């Protein structure tokens, strides 16, 4: 992994992925006690940064390999990113999802052009099913984070942050990033180290699922005790990746941890002050910036708002609880 | 009014107003039956396009005049745009509002740096109060739409649309614009006529408040029968302006009309598919693009989403009604 791979991904993404702006509000600055700049990846195609990695990976394949199609295991943002990237390349995609995935997510992924293959969590082996499909059809597996081209794609977000922060006059700041397996955090860390070394990538996770923060503290890959049960489902993984962790350890951290309630409150703040829609997992970095100011250094902070694919019910809950007091 | 005034306003806005992106979603394309490109001015500073006009007007004043301060009559987006523009110029602003304006709007306008002066609708003459304050303190009145520098500022949105539509390969399309007094519509119409003549500015209004559509049809300024009672309060005015109407009549139209329910439904669609927060008045152009496709010509349509300053209660109502079926 190096900056050249990220630059190459950026060249392939140009005109296909969206350059998201950098947003701010004097109300958020006052809450945080410093300038807050927000990178709204919820405005990216398919509603999250995952489209960057999906496009980077699909576009990197040789033509004849790509033409046979791609496969991914995901019921969430990665599924949508890969499905859309494949459809825009005119190649098939197969997305393997548990049969109990939300119907809306299944329908959306199909509508984005994917063939959705459902499996029963209790009786079927997902990996064996995927391997068989890939073998039979010659599909290429696109992993969600521990894959260099995916990391390179997510890193293009970091290239944009480097340019946009400089335009805002910010050369030294923590860059807070919602972190699951670490694809986005490690990609941004690589981009910043090369293009804006005063900006430091720091992963943010929800309480109880702070595998990356603990891994960065101990220096080795740690695992979460639980793998489900968080409203921040978009960023829950067993542990940081074998490719992503060394990058984060070398270039980023330390990690920050917020509560689910703080994530909901940050969703309401983003609604009120930035007019963007965030999902809980996409709001944890903004939550850290707003409600843990003592854990951040410097006169400005940059928070990546990584996704906005949230059900109306959950969004209403955030507004019910914090719409008058974000 | 000419394109040079808009270009000059753009030069003054550079680095201060945000260049908003152009958003899209395959789901919206399918709903509308054509490509839909959305210009999200809800992401502009203060949550609406009004910051453009506010900044353009304040920055156009001679230094000694500007230093004495500005005054505006508004309880809505214009108030916030002028207050913030004045604060960022380091000059005082006085915003005159009815004493029964929502407390949140009063608080927000104060927080943006304005002195809010309240008057009693029943017993006080707003214009006389404002004239006295302006006289006493040497304040300059910033009118909300019928003022060339304000129109020039709003026109900068049209310059961005001209460039961004060309990047998307769109050279002929209707550009649908939420319309109150016509500042935004006339400014965009001027910009497009000069820079992208295949893009046609068309105002969109809520049912029952279609003064501009009727004025464009009859060729003279028509008035609304009612002046209140719409959830699209941001774009309710008695009639198009004496400066804005001739521009719209020469370069734009015909107007479109949507229902309040369609505006709420478009808010839900923007939530689900674009991850942006719109107020009802800011959603009428998107509503026309999505739910009145037969009233639009061409293979693509551009909808300006003019503002997102909506109370949580009203937003929840849009999600309750249309969150599952936008």
Domain boundaries, chain A: 3-49+147-322, 51-141
Could A276 and B276 be called an inter-chain contact, meaning their C-beta atoms sit closer than 8 Å? yes
pLDDT in tens, A254-301: 999 999 999 999 999 999 999 999 999 999 999 999 999 999 999 999
Chain A CB contacts of B102 below 8 Å? none
Could A312 and B272 be called an inter-chain contact, meaning their C-beta atoms sit closer than 8 Å? yes
Q: For A307-311, what is the mean pLDDT?
A: 95
Residues in Cβ contact with B103 at an 8 Å cutoff, skipping those fewer than 6 apart: none
B319 lies within 8 A of chain A by CB: yes
SS3 A299: coil
Closest C-alpha to A146, from A109, A96, A187, A118: A187
pLDDT for res A227: 83
Could B276 and A43 be called an inter-chain contact, meaning their C-beta atoms sit closer than 8 Å? yes
Could B21 and A19 be called an inter-chain contact, meaning their C-beta atoms sit closer than 8 Å? yes
pLDDT for res B324: 86
pLDDT for res B17: 97
Closest C-alpha to B75, from B116, B113, B34: B116
Place of tokens 């699909």: A58
Name the minimum distance, in Å, from the CA of B29 to any CA of chain A.
12
CB nearest A277 (choices: B15, B276, B309): B276
Which residues of chain A from 173 to 202 reach within 8 Å of chain B, CB to CB? none
B18 lies within 8 A of chain A by CB: yes
B51-141 matches B3-49+147-322 in CATH topology: yes
> Is residue B77 within 8 Å of B150, Cβ to Cβ?
no
Q: What is the CATH number of domain B3-49+147-322?
A: 3.40.50.1100
pLDDT in tens, A65-107: 999 999 999 878 999 999 999 999 999 999 999 888 878 788 8
pLDDT for res A127: 86
pLDDT for res B23: 98
Give every residue of chain B whose pLDDT is below 70, as ranges. Answer: none
Could B111 and A268 be called an inter-chain contact, meaning their C-beta atoms sit closer than 8 Å? no
A21 lies within 8 A of chain B by CB: yes
Closest C-alpha to B117, from B88, B143, B149, B94: B94
Which of A41, A84, A275 to probe the B interface (max B CBs under 10 A)? A275
What token pair was written down for B69?
A: 């301060």
Q: What is the CATH number of domain A51-141?
A: 3.40.50.1100
CA-based nearest residue in chain B for residue A103: B324
pLDDT for res B125: 86
B280 lies within 8 A of chain A by CB: no
pLDDT for res B75: 79
**B166 beta partners:** none
Q: At what angle do helices B77-89 and B103-111 cross, to 10 degrees?
A: 20
**E-only strand ranges, B247-312:** 256-258, 300-305
Which residues of chain B from 70 to 129 reach within 8 Å of chain A, CB to CB? 84, 108, 111-112
A277 lies within 8 A of chain B by CB: yes
**E-only strand ranges, chain B:** 35-40, 70-73, 93-98, 115-119, 140-141, 173-178, 199-206, 256-258, 300-305
What token pair was written down for A116?
A: 């959705």
Residues in Cβ contact with B216 at an 8 Å cutoff, skipping those fewer than 6 apart: B203, B248, B249, B252, B253, B254, B255
pLDDT in tens, A119-155: 998 888 888 998 999 999 999 999 999 999 999 999 9
One-character DSSP codes across A234-271: GG--SS--TTHHHHHHHH----EEE-HHHHHHHHHHHH
Task: Give me the torsion for CA of B277, B280, B285, B286, rounded to 10°.
Answer: 50
In whole angstroms, give the CA distance from residue A257 to residue A241: 19
pLDDT for res B242: 97
Name the minimum distance, in Å, from the CA of A85 to any CA of chain B.
12
Could B112 and A26 be called an inter-chain contact, meaning their C-beta atoms sit closer than 8 Å? yes
Q: What are phi and psi of B262, to 5 degrees?
A: -65, -35
Name the minimum distance, in Å, from the CA of A279 to any CA of chain B.
10
CA angle B126, B130, B136 (to 5 degrees): 150
CA-based nearest residue in chain B for residue A322: B312
In whole angstroms, give the CA distance from residue A111 to residue A42: 19
Name the minimum distance, in Å, from the CA of B273 to any CA of chain A.
8
> Is residue A40 within 8 Å of A164, Cβ to Cβ?
no
CB nearest B43 (choices: A23, A27, A112): A23
Burial (CB count <10 Å: 0-12, 13-18, 19+), residue B176: buried
A47 lies within 8 A of chain B by CB: yes
pLDDT at A228 over 90: no
> Is residue B51 within 8 Å of B84, Cβ to Cβ?
yes
Q: For A160-177, what is the mean pLDDT?
A: 98
Task: Give me the torsion for CA of B156, B157, B162, B163, rounded to 10°.
Answer: 80
In whole angstroms, give the CA distance from residue B143 to residue B149: 10
Chain B CB contacts of A308 below 8 Å? 275
CB nearest B21 (choices: A18, A30, A315): A18
The interface pTM score, or ipTM, of the predicted complex is 0.96
CA-based nearest residue in chain B for residue A104: B324
A272 lies within 8 A of chain B by CB: yes
CA-based nearest residue in chain A for residue B278: A275
> Is residue A165 within 8 Å of A24, Cβ to Cβ?
no
CB nearest A319 (choices: B30, B43, B312): B312
CA-based nearest residue in chain A for residue B273: A47
Name the minimum distance, in Å, from the CA of A82 to any CA of chain B.
15
Could B19 and A21 be called an inter-chain contact, meaning their C-beta atoms sit closer than 8 Å? yes
CB nearest B21 (choices: A43, A47, A309): A43
A268 lies within 8 A of chain B by CB: yes
B312 lies within 8 A of chain A by CB: yes
pLDDT for res B228: 84
Could B21 and A23 be called an inter-chain contact, meaning their C-beta atoms sit closer than 8 Å? no
């Amino acid at each position: 992994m190096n900056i050249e791979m990220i630059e190459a991904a950026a060249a392939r993404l140009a005109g296909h992925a969206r350059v998201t702006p950098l947003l701010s509000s004097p109300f958020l600055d006052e809450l945080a006690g410093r300038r807050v700049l927000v990178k709204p990846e919820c405005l990216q195609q398919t509603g999250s940064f995952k489209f960057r990695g999906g496009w980077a990976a699909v576009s990197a394949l040789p033509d004849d390999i790509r033409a046979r199609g791609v496969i991914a295991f995901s019921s969430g943002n990665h599924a949508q990113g890969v499905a859309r990237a494949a459809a825009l390349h005119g190649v098939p995609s197969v997305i393997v999802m548990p049969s109990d995935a939300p119907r809306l997510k299944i329908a959306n992924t199909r509508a984005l052009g994917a063939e959705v293959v459902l499996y029963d969590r209790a009786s079927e082996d997902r990996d064996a099913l995927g391997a068989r499909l890939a073998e039979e059809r010659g599909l290429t597996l696109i992993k969600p984070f521990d894959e260099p081209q995916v990391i390179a794609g997510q890193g293009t977000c970091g290239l944009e942050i480097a340019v946009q922060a400089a335009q805002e006059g910010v050369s030294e700041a923590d860059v807070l990033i919602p972190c699951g397996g670490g694809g986005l955090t490690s990609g941004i860390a690589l981009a910043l180290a090369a293009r804006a070394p005063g900006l430091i990538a720091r992963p943010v996770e929800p309480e109880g699922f702070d595998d990356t923060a603990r891994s960065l503290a101990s220096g080795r890959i740690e695992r979460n005790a639980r793998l489900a049960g968080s409203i921040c489902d978009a960023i829950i993984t067993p542990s940081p990746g074998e490719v992503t962790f060394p990058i984060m350890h070398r270039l980023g951290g330390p990690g920050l941890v917020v509560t689910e309630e703080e994530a909901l409150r940050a969703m309401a703040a983003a609604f009120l002050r930035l007019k963007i829609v965030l999902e809980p997992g996409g709001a944890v970095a903004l939550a850290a910036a707003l409600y843990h100011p003592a854990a951040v250094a410097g006169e400005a902070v940059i928070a990546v708002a990584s996704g906005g694919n949230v059900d109306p019910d959950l969004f209403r809950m955030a507004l019910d609880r914090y719409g008058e007091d974000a």
